[in-house]
């Protein structure tokens, strides 16, 4: 509103009032804009929550809140890895395939009576290695991230099909199967265990991005690769690191999914990369890299999680859910590009 008035006033000089008038409207406008810009995703989230709670009574119940967080945890954990990748101005399409293959690996190991700690460690390491493969192709082969991870995505999905023979692998029998089921379905102090995993992932990512060299280098690399290289930083190693992180976190999400279903599905994680990318972008991270915050990603995954939950509560059919989700994402990104163009 203020913006409109200001613009038209400035355009037709004859109508401009006294300088004081111009000044006051300008400064008011600036405060509003800065505030909105900084917190627009949080504000969107809050408005959204209020709106949903008005339509549905059950929305604000503790149960439903925990439910949302638990369901969100899988996308959240993947989105954290995606944030690292996108900050370096890359993209990781392979997260869903990594989730499926590491889930299948975990279920197999459980079936072979492996110790739970060993299963978790091996699965996470395997996920990181799969991510590293993308990283290697991108860094050493100088292939664009989109193409490189499109290839690894397809390759790993194929590998999953071969490995599982296209059939689910059960994780409900084996020495460690009870412990394994705790990962996705267990409760600690009346809070689902995946929520702890999600919280831990965010805290760790926040620490790495804001307080370590790796984090600083991730931002630098996304902002200006040539300058980062010329500052004596091993850019290839940073790329390798972010894709490994993304792979490892996809494997963690794979553990949760597999544990919850007590079996590994060969089609698990299909198109999960899209929700993760959407969450990162909703959180204000720029796809061109170098700009964004992990807290933004948290807000982004919550928006998507609550949206999914609300559409369920309102009994919207799953076909319409997709359309509604697409519209919200589009709207958010449009608002985002408009406001950043103005600043």
Partner 1 sequence: MSTQSKSEPVFQMKDVIKIFPGVRALDGACLNIYPGRVMALLGENGAGKSTLMKVMTGIHRCDEGQLKYHGDDVVFRSSRDSRERGVSIIHQELNLIPELSIAENIFLSREPMGRFGRIDWKTMREEAQKLLDLLDVPFDPSTPVGKLSIGVQQMVEIAKALSFSSQVIVMDEPTDALTDKETESLFKVIRQLRSEGKGIVYISHRLQEIFQICDDATVMRDGRFIAETPVYQLTEDDIIEQMVGRSLEEQYPRIEVETGALALEVKNLSAPGVKGISFQLKEGEILGISGLMGAGRTELMKALYGANAAQSGEIRVAGEAKQIKTPAEALQSGIVYISEDRKGDGLVLELSVSENMSLCSLKRFQSAIGKINRSREMDSVQHFIKAFNIKTPSAKQLIKNLSGGNQQKVAIAKGLMINPRVLILDEPTRGVDVGAKKEIYQLINEFKNKGMSILLVSSDMPEVLGMSDRVLVMHEGKITGEFDRQEATQEKLMRCAVGKAA
Window contacting partner 1 (CB under 8 A); options: 171-179, 212-220, 323-331, 332-340? 212-220
* Gap between the Cα atoms of 287 and 289, Å rounded: 5
Query: Tokens for 201?
Result: 């992932």
Question: Which of 13/141 has CB closer to partner 1?
Answer: 13
Using CB under 8 A, pick the residue from 11, 317, 319, 338 that binds partner 1: 11
Taking the C-alpha atoms of residue 124 and residue 103, their distance in angstroms, rounded to an integer, is 10
Bridge partners for 264 per DSSP: 169
229 lines the binding site for partner 1 (CB under 8 A): yes
- Contact between 211 and partner 1 by CB under 8 A: the answer reads yes
Alpha carbons 129 and 256: distance in angstroms, whole number: 19
Binding segment for partner 1 among 9-17, 125-133, 165-173, 191-199 (CB under 8 A)? 9-17
- Single residue of 40, 216, 293, 325 touching partner 1 by CB under 8 A: 216
Q: Indicate which single residue of 4, 13, 142, 190 sits in contact with partner 1 (rule: CB under 8 A).
A: 13
Identify which range of 76-84, 204-212, 272-280, 315-323 contacts partner 1 by CB under 8 A. 204-212
For residues 192 and 202, give the distance between their C-alpha atoms in angstroms, rounded to a whole number.
16
Contacts of 91 (CB under 8 A, 6+ apart): 85, 145, 146, 149, 277, 287
CB 189 within 8 A of CB 68: no
**End-to-end distance of the chain based on CA atoms, in angstroms?**
17
Out of 192, 247, 290, 296, name the contact with partner 1 by CB under 8 A: 290
Rounded Cα–Cα distance for residues 285 and 280 (Å): 6
Q: Total residues at the site for partner 1 (CB under 8 A)?
A: 34
**Which residues in 246-285 contact partner 1 (CB under 8 A)?**
none
Binding of partner 1 at residue 233 (CB under 8 A)? yes
26: Cβ contacts below 8 Å, ≥ 6 apart: 6
- Buried b / exposed e across 238-250, counting CB within 10 Å, b at 16+? bbbbbbbbbbbbb
Query: Considering the complex, what minimum distance in angstroms separates the CB of residue 265 from partner 1?
Result: 37
* Residues 88 and 222 sit within 8 Å (Cβ to Cβ): yes
The CA-atom distances, in angstroms, between 119 and each of 16, 107, 113, 176, 180 are 71, 9, 9, 9, 9
Of these, 2, 3, 5, 26, which contacts partner 1 (CB under 8 A)?
A: 26
In the complex with partner 1, the residue whose CB is nearer, 265 or 286, is 286
CB of 232 to partner 1, least distance (A): 4
Q: Establish if 213 lies at the interface with partner 1 (CB under 8 A).
A: yes
Tell me if 37 contacts partner 1 by CB under 8 A.
Answer: no
* Nearer to partner 1 among residue 169 and residue 209 (C-beta): 209
The pair of structure tokens assigned to 218 is: 């991730």
Identify the residue among 85, 133, 220, 303 touching partner 1 (CB under 8 A): 220
CB of 126 to partner 1, least distance (A): 25
Q: How far is the CB of 217 from partner 1 (least distance, A)?
A: 8
Q: In whole angstroms, how far apart are CA 115 and each of 44, 129, 138, 176, 177?
A: 45, 21, 35, 6, 9
Report in angstroms how near the CB of residue 238 gets to partner 1 at its nearest.
12
Which residues would be at the binding site for partner 1 (CB under 8 A)?
Answer: 7, 10-11, 13-14, 16, 19, 22-23, 26-27, 34, 207, 211-213, 216-217, 219-220, 222-224, 226-234, 290-291
């Amino acid at each position: 509103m203020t913006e409109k008035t200001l613009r038209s006033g400035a355009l037709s000089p004859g109508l401009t009032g006294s300088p004081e008038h111009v000044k006051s409207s300008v400064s008011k406008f600036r405060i509003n804009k800065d505030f909105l810009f900084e917190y627009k995703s949080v504000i969107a989230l809050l408005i959204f929550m209020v709106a949903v709670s008005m339509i549905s009574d059950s929305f604000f119940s503790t149960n439903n809140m925990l439910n949302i967080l638990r369901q969100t945890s899988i996308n959240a954990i993947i989105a954290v890895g995606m944030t690292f990748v996108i900050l370096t101005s890359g993209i990781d399409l392979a997260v869903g395939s990594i989730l499926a293959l590491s889930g299948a690996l975990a279920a197999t190991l459980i079936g072979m009576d492996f110790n739970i700690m060993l299963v978790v460690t091996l699965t996470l390491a395997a996920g990181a290695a799969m991510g590293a493969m993308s990283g290697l192709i991108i860094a050493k082969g100088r292939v664009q991230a989109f193409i490189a991870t499109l290839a690894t995505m397809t390759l790993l999905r194929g590998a999953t099909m071969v490995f599982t023979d296209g059939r689910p692998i059960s994780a409900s029998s084996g020495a460690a199967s009870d412990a394994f089921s705790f990962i996705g379905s267990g409760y600690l102090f009346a809070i689902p265990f995946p929520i702890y995993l999600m919280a831990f992932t965010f805290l760790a990512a926040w620490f790495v991005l804001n307080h370590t060299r790796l984090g600083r280098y991730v931002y630098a690399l996304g902002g200006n690769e040539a300058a980062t290289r010329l500052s004596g930083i091993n850019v290839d190693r940073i790329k390798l690191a972010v894709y490994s992180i993304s792979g490892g976190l996809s494997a963690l999400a794979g553990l949760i999914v597999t544990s919850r279903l007590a079996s590994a599905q060969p089609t698990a994680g299909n198109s999960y990369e899209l929700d993760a990318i959407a969450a990162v972008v909703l959180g204000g991270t720029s796809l061109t890299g170098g700009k964004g915050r992990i807290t933004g990603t948290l807000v982004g995954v919550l928006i998507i999680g609550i949206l999914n939950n609300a559409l369920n509560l309102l009994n919207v059919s799953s076909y319409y859910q997709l359309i509604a989700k697409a519209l919200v994402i589009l709207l958010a990104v449009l608002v985002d590009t408009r406001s950043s163009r103005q600043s």
